[in-house]
Structure 1
């Protein structure tokens, strides 16, 4: 990418539609280089690869790194536009049902396989998919940058068209160049650490740009595919595709998420959806200019309109407008009530009727649909009104279902305060029988009075008030405003029962016809290897406890369990983490069947492969048979959010891909040979995992690893990047065990070691083959062919190996001052890397790493020369930053250093 050659004409190409992604990328990069030559010619030779950057000033180095980061952004935009164009080409040439990842393709296959309409209906009843937007500190791009990237994407798409004249095309090209120039002139870094409020605005940005419009389209697309492949059948497609969020509700290790912040977050989320409905209803009213002279207006609409107008305190303005256009008048009535609802949501006084809940607004749109259908305008009902009704069903009055998350350390502290208030002495150990008996007792007793709570610490009162917020805002904003309470680092049954006790203190435990239940789902999060292994026994015991069982029954005989990819990887390495996650899901699914409650999994994935970020379709298809059953929640974190939802075409594809993959697994997983458990494969996986875990834990257990990691990576400097409100460490600790998984992955990726996605795999494979010989190799090759999970693991390890560069890694290692530590740790990494490469090639039969992934390798190769250059620049910046004699000298180096971190993250396409 830094050898673009001499400047070429800045005129817009004749048609991007006929150009390859490489040509489109080269043209965009050339526009940036022309901007740089005009704005800051001193750095242009470095960007063009004609000279090194060693003679640049700190300011010029910073601008060079910023420009290199923009290069990656432009290439990524070109790739997204090309991918969208390619999908359209396939649809035109072969048909929509040949396009992978679509409902059309899934249902065409189902029909050919003899899947009946009744089977489809059965799956639709339980289908529930919810991506959950989170604010983990992994997004290095500001919203201002995202907005400019979006404009560049749209202009690039416009240039694909062949309808423009040369004059019009050049005008579009000029607009695009302006956006590139603005990108170069816009600060690339957050000057201040973002607040939670900033993160809420960042999350809502994607809803206003794409998600509000496109999520309802997922439902419509599914309905169209069903009608096409099962034309004589009727189906009820419920609003199965919704969004969740942790932004403003995730308190785990983030002291800035307070109850006041959560309250404001809920208000902002509600206002976002209400303002969207107001805008869309205004558009709808403009379109539905239907006159009684031209169309039959059903009497039920006339009657309802008059009834509503008569009930208003001041209906004169609505009566006076559009007197001969009843549908417009009805839209004006909806707008009137929406405006009153907006006032109430903002905390301002209302003067007339407002919507008490989203169901009332849904009912109004359904009435309009029925009236249009009766008036022989069913197509208008389907095309104009139903999408807006679907939007309200999906987003309601809260935009997202906000999850609350807290750590067991905090909940246990609150419970200890509660013990002291009821027992007048210090609590016993939380794993004692006495503690467990007390929890059971507390679930049967009424909540303490406000006066009794005064004895609690402020932290405990804050925790209970968090639960109280749920009951309050569910009634004020929307009954589905909250998703669930996630309990991080769940280790025992007592941990979960403790959360029920705190919910009880807040009034969320209610009396039902069959006994008490909790109205807010309590979801345990199992994160470490040990906790994943303990999870089935914990859930078996929990589901035998009446309040837990009844609470699950109130949720539709459903108990959600969250599983963590990040911490299990940090805890045990890549292969053991994947195997333990797989086993936990299979065993928990069996526990659910045994207890008569479906276990639904919430997958805590990140963007990098180390944190579960594998390709959507492949990752879902590799889950254990029967473990999904149409219910799927997954976190969408940081850069993943902007990649998936920044542009309409990509967002529509990603949503449909996720939904169709989940639906496919629900339909096929229990009848597919590929997912039938095979004892031979499972034992092999167990042996591989055990050996890989030993190698990994021995490595991370090295007493000198922390010293090496801190010196040979920008671990500490990453915390200076203002990319998230959350601290990098929980509770201020500085041990490796307490370091969050995100900076752990982030820093190992920056220094090109990338150990989190491959270390231990080579040792595991070698020990397996040493013990089993040729029959073992034959078995592993069969597993690679027939086991989806093993294939996924090995494929992602191989892709990760393509990111490793030991020569560059060695430059980072040179930052470790202790020679013995440096040589010892680096030698272990180099040896395991070489072993892993050799073992992966032996099993797959490939001659070189990456030859099986030609498209991925080509994309990576386009970036690597620039990434490598920035890595070398970063090493020197780290050396200078750490040896600076005073704060002024450090400040001069800090901006270029942080830009180097941002640039490498952009080039790799993932941070943490």
Structure 2
């Protein structure tokens, strides 16, 4: 215990010296930059921050605080001048956030040196004299995999140009290169952070591919190299563990801007970027291998890589095996004839080709089950399929529908015009085959059915493939149900039981190696049921689904739709996986990474390697350890069941409050999010109608609460549930569950993280609002109750006491962006008054611009 405390103290000291102090030092460089009134802006900003802090402590409104500041410190208080200075504050703070990110990233290895640990190597060492453990390790290695899936979400704000500057700035900060830092800060000041118009899905894919090309290409290969070395040292065969996935261009759920041509363009783009990476590495290889005996293979590889990297007219095909064969020949010659000189360079490129093939990352296709049902209904009215189904098919029971499915291959003739969504689905099903032929099967082999509510949702989709160019025996597609709502999660086990027992699906799974992918979504489950119920529903669904899969001898791979914040499944991700017990399939870790999570956890090679390694360690540890969490003990399961139910009821009561949605619309920038030019995806699914909670996308819902600094989806109901247990005399049981269950502890830790990024003092003046005062007080009371109960449960005096570095980082970031929060509220407040059309446009723009910096500083707020 003392050693852990000492390590925490050392990390905190390093953070203060390496991050906070250096940020303050380099922050002063901003004042010397040759920008419009930059000295005036930089001089006034600290005074403005002090005014904001004092005003909040006195429960003043943003308008009162800002008006008083301008009256005291500026001479010309015209509306135009006020808005002009506020915009300059925003631009200044945005770049402060980038600088802080870069300083923190530059210190990453020093901050995390003590945490580095190769779990695989550790267990291999233990297995030397323990045959049972050794056998278990070998079996786990054979089955284990980690898939990271990059998704395009409208909270990854930085374009590629800014990301490149951040990368170079981080490098310069590592060596304290003042001259280069100064130049890069100047470049940062002149580089626009945002698009003038919303990006297309292909634009988003290109932006996200920056991370594939500049981070994951190296980081994943480096980790795989360590794994290969560890296995080789113990005479074990190498095993590919890391896989990459990609959603931009394939995810069309709720995004009418994704079309078949987007999917095709993105698959081609991924391929070309990958071969340019290969070609870049190969040129380094060729510069070193100047010996005789390899000329022929060098020439062959160079010609193939060059054409695939730069010739847009080349007929593409999967050439991964061809490349590996020739590279292996080169390596063999180096080993046999040249003492292995530079063989490591050949091995590195071979490893990358084995990891990324001809595709780089698997492009997942996703569509809503309601759309897919419409497509199936459309096809049933076409010849020759029409004769196979009864006219009343849609009104049949689920069992009757499944019985009516025939799974006959056919070519449907579509003569009339189709609905755009129907047309896109049918074209995409056809084009997936072409993508597989060009880039390999792994390029596009998963179709995710979101809002999956019944077994027929999957079986009907399989029929659509059979009716559009696919044969049963070559159906090289994994059909992935996505269960999200509390109700759907409860039904998931039964749905999969029906599928596993279905003859056609059973045969299909056998051809796919008896491996089933199932996606579970945190975002909509949290919006639907609140924080605790979402987590507990997903846990119970995983238990039920694992039990069902084991019964049918199916290898299960859970794919977790995890966002950045704890309310969308984020937080201490590796701890979440390490806490899974033997009751849950955990040998294939798959998760989405999105929003600021990409830049904060995978923004550099160092941080990406660290976080990938942590996830692998978590999976290996969970698979090997003998003791697991106690949650399936009837006593503790019942306790969590009751707490989740009580938390759920509290959250649902809040959602049903007549002021719930109007409060969010009035006091947060929710209604303005659709005007932010950062995403191709609409803010809500029913883009043409009035705002309804069920149509609101979870990311917009969570973002709105985070902008308010209230983070309701990340804690609401926790305090009520814990207090009720205390009143019932069950407190000792709750404490025991917290102390013994890594899973429950992770939930609590992530909840405390979410609450650490909340600050109700900023909106304390809402308490005096005639219409919303009582509602704000209800939110605040639950926050205070949750905070007190969580501290009592953990035995801590402050939130995140166990994570002093992360806590300090959050505190510094919140201080940096505090003025943005006040400016946002000020602008929203002004928008409620009678103003001119020109003023309305200015205040809307002001409010919108604050969103970027607040989210970027939070790193996992949306």
- Asked whether the two chains share a fold, i.e. TM above 0.5, the reply is yes
Distance 2:119 2:200 in 1: 38
Is contact 1:338-1:355 (8 Å) kept? no
1:29 counterpart residue number:
27
Question: Out of 288, 297, 300, which is 1:330 matched to?
Answer: 297
Show the counterpart of 1:164.
Answer: none
Secondary structure of residue in 2 paired with 1:468: helix
1:359 aligns with 2:321: yes
Tell me which of 633, 655, 658 is aligned to 1:678: 633
Cα offset, 1:720, TM superposition: 1.7
Tell me the TM-score normalised to structure 1 length.
0.85
Cα displacement (A) at 1:156: 0.7
Corresponding residue for residue 396 of structure 2: 432
Q: Is 1:239 aligned to residue 260 of structure 2?
A: no
Instruction: Show CA shifts across 1:29-86 (max 9, x none).
Output: 2222443788522212232236756535322211211211222222222222223123
Does 1:124 pair with 2:141?
A: yes
1:17: how far off?
Answer: 12
C-alpha distance in structure 2 between counterparts of 1:767 and 1:559, whole Å: 40
Corresponding residue for residue 621 of structure 2 = 664
CA distance in 2, matches of 1:277, 1:496: 38
Partner SS state of residue 560, structure 2: strand
TM-score, normalisation: structure 2 = 0.90
C-alpha deviation, 1:356, in angstroms: 4.9
1:152–1:176 contact (8 Å) kept in structure 2: yes
* Counterpart-to-counterpart distance in 1, 2:341 and 2:541: 48
Superposed displacement of residue 651, structure 1: 1.8
Residue equivalent to 2:90:
65
CA contact (8 A) 1:189 1:722 kept: yes
- Answer yes or no: is 1:689 the counterpart of 2:652: no
Question: For residues 37 and 635 of structure 1, what CA distance do their matches in structure 2 show?
Answer: 39
Cross-structure match for 1:619: 576
- 2:209 maps to 204
Report deviation, 1:832.
Answer: 1.3
Corresponding residue number in structure 2 for 1:896? 846
C-alpha displacement of 1:154? 0.6
Relative to structure 1, is the Cα distance of residues 177 and 122 closer, same or farther in structure 2, using a 3 angstrom cutoff?
same
- SS at structure 2 position matched to 1:48: helix
CA–CA distance in 1 between the matches of 2:171 and 2:652? 48
Cα deviation code 1:171-217 (max 9, x no counterpart): x3111011112212222322211111211111111122122122111
Deviation at 1:842, TM superposition (A): 2.4
In structure 1, distance between residues paired with 2:35 and 2:282: 48
Q: How far, CA to CA, are the matches of 2:740 and 2:314 in structure 1?
A: 64
**1:285 touches 1:327 (CA, 8 Å); kept in 2?**
no
In structure 2, the residue matched to 1:522 is 479
The match for 1:866 is 816
Q: What number of residue pairs does the alignment pair up?
A: 817
Q: Which residue of 2 aligns with 1:40?
A: 38
| 1:130-169 matched pairs, under 5 angstroms | 130-159=147-176
Q: Write out per-residue CA displacement over residues 536-589 of structure 1, whole angstroms, 9 at most, x where no aligned residue.
A: 000011111122222222222111100001011111011111111111111111
Cα offset for 1:850?
Answer: 4.0
- 8 Å contact 2:272–2:308 — kept in the other structure? no
Q: CA deviation at 1:736?
A: 0.6
Alignment partners' CA distance in 1, 2:200 and 2:589: 30
- Match of residue 500, structure 1, among 462, 467, 475: 462
Q: For the residues of structure 2 that align with 1:666 and 1:625, how far apart are their CA atoms?
A: 8
- Contact residue 508 and residue 519 of structure 1 kept, 8 A: no
With 783-792 and 850-859 compared, the bigger mean Cα shift is at 850-859
Instruction: Find the residue that maps to 2:557 and give its secondary structure.
Output: strand
Compared CA separation, residues 280 and 865, structure 1 to 2 (3 A): closer
- CA contact 1:877–1:897 (8 Å) conserved in 2: yes
Contact 1:486–1:522 (CA<8 Å) still a contact in 2? yes
Partners in 2 of 1:503 and 1:617 — Cα distance? 37
Q: Tell me which residue corresponds to 1:299.
A: none
Greater Cα offset, 757-766 or 43-52: 43-52
Secondary structure of 2:242's aligned partner: coil
Matching of residue 444 in structure 1 with residue 444 in structure 2: no
Partner of 1:796 in structure 2? 750
Structure-2 separation of matches of 1:112 and 1:634? 35
Q: Distance in 2 between matches of 1:332 and 1:894?
A: 59
Residue 722 (structure 1) aligned with residue 685 (structure 2): no
Structure 1 residues 856-878: Cα deviation after superposition (integer angstroms, max 9, x where no partner): 32222223333333212211111
Distance (Å, rounded) in 2 between the aligned partners of 1:213 and 1:188: 26
Counterpart CA distance in 1 for 2:421 and 2:810 is 48
Provide the aligned C-alpha RMSD in A. 2.6
TM-superposition CA deviations, 1:412-445 (whole Å, max 9, x none): 1111112233448996474723x75455544432
d(CA) in 1 for partners of 2:409, 2:807: 62
1:625 touches 1:676 (CA, 8 Å); kept in 2? no
2:365 maps to 404
Q: Residues 668 and 708 of structure 2 are in contact (CA less than 8 Å); yes or no, is this contact kept in structure 1?
A: yes
Cα contact 1:135–1:637 (8 A) shared by 2: yes
- Mapped to 1, the partners of 2:334 and 2:305 lie a distance apart of 22
Structure 2 Cα separation of the partners of residues 43 and 464 of structure 1: 56
Mapped contact 1:811–1:872 kept (Cα < 8 A): no
Q: Which of 345, 348, 351 lines up with 1:387 in the alignment?
A: 348
Distance change (3 Å), C-alpha of 1:144 and 1:338? closer
CA distance in structure 1 between the partners assigned to 2:767 and 2:377 by the alignment: 46
Structure 1 position 498, deviation (Å): 1.5
User: Could you tell me which residue of structure 1 aligns to residue 5 of structure 2?
Assistant: none
- Kept after mapping to 1: 8 A contact 2:683/2:700: yes
Q: Which residue of 2 aligns with 1:780?
A: 734
Once the two structures are TM-superposed, the CA of residue 534 in structure 1 deviates from its matched residue by 0.3
Q: Which of the numbers 487, 509, 530 marks the counterpart of 1:552? A: 509
Q: For residues 277-333 of structure 1, give each alpha carbon's deviation from its aligned partner in whole angstroms, at most 9, with x where no partner exists.
A: 12222221111112xxxxxxxxxxxxxxxxxxxxxxxxxxxxxxxxxx332442121
On the 8 A contact 2:720/2:785 being kept in 1, the answer is: yes
Deviation string 1:76-124 (CA, Å, 9 cap, x unpaired) is 2222222312345x4xxxxxxx734664456456669876443322122
SS in 1 for 2:150: strand
Correspondence 1:510 to 2:472: yes
Query: Does the aligned pair in 2 maintain the 1:519–1:551 contact within 8 Å?
Result: no
SS of corresponding position for 2:147: strand
**Alpha-carbon distance in structure 2 between the residues aligned to 1:249 and 1:466:** 9
Map of 2:76 onto structure 1:
none
Unaligned runs of 5+ in 2: 1-13, 52-65, 71-80
Cα distance, 1:684 vs structure 2: 0.8
Range moving further from structure 2, 38-47 or 263-272: 38-47
- In structure 2, the residue matched to 1:590 is 547
- CA distance, structure 1, for counterparts of residue 131 and residue 724 of structure 2: 45
Question: Aligned partners of 2:318, 2:803: CA distance in 1, in Å?
Answer: 54
In the alignment, what sits opposite 1:83?
Answer: 108
Partners of 2:118 and 2:47 in 1: CA distance: 40
Q: Is the 8 A contact 1:419 1:426 kept in 2?
A: no
Distance 1:575 1:356 in 2: 46
The answer to whether the Cα contact below 8 Å between 1:130 and 1:241 also exists between their aligned partners in 2 is yes
Structure 1 unmatched runs, 5+: 1-15, 91-97, 160-171, 291-324, 512-516
SS of residue matched to 1:624: coil
Q: Deviations over 1:571-623 (max 9, x none)?
A: 10111111111111111111000011112100000001101112132111122
- Identify the residue that residue 609 of structure 2 maps to in structure 1: 652
